[in-house]
Amino acid sequence: MKPAVEKVQAAIAGHGLARQVIELPVHARTSQQAADALGVTVGQIVKSLVFTAAGRPIMVAASGANRVDERRLGELTGGAIRRADPTTVKQATGYTIGGVPPIALASPLPIYVDRDLLGYDLVYAAAGLPECVFPIAPQELVRATGGTIVDIKEGGSDPAASDSKGERA
């Protein structure tokens, strides 16, 4: 197991969760690819997206089926929202885009959890590398991240379909 994945597995155990990292047979760089590899709906994939709000990094744990409403996120954070560049993502989380987990981060970040994730019994989040994920119940995700549950999807998002970019971080 590579160090990034070991760090996530240790954090899972540290939160008292009886969950194991799953290594996928493919590099899942999009929510749809991860869903296909797991045999689940794209809505069950957690996208750990890093933004900056007033220049400070924040994370959104969004359903893979939804696009984040950046205007709404700005209202919640009280700052101008921008997508974080790859260097900022790596510095803030300790991981590169494509494998960013919502736990075991390099530094504490405010985390906003997409309310739509709560509609599933089990969701899957990145575990440090594009080919690794871990299952987690949505309430466990909220507890482990210390996240705030929010309605964050764009009004036109369709929970049955991937976002137009199929993005996953």
Q: Domain residues of the chain, as ranges?
A: 3-150
**pLDDT at residue 158 tops 80:** no
Whether the model pTM is above 0.85: yes
Res. 29 pLDDT band, cuts 50 70 90: confident
49-62 tens-digit pLDDT: 999 998 899 999 99
Confidence at residue 127, expressed as pLDDT on a 0 to 100 scale: 97
Res. 7 pLDDT band, cuts 50 70 90: very high
Q: Are 125 and 24 spatial neighbours (Cβ–Cβ below 8 Å)?
A: no
Measured CA to CA, the distance from residue 155 to residue 169 in angstroms comes to 22
Q: DSSP strand E in 36-165: where?
A: 45-53, 56-63, 81-83, 111-114, 123-126, 132-136, 148-150
Q: What CATH number should be reported for the domain whose range is 3-150?
A: 3.90.960.10
69-97 tens-digit pLDDT: 999 999 999 889 999 999 999 999 999 99
State mean pLDDT over 2-6: 93
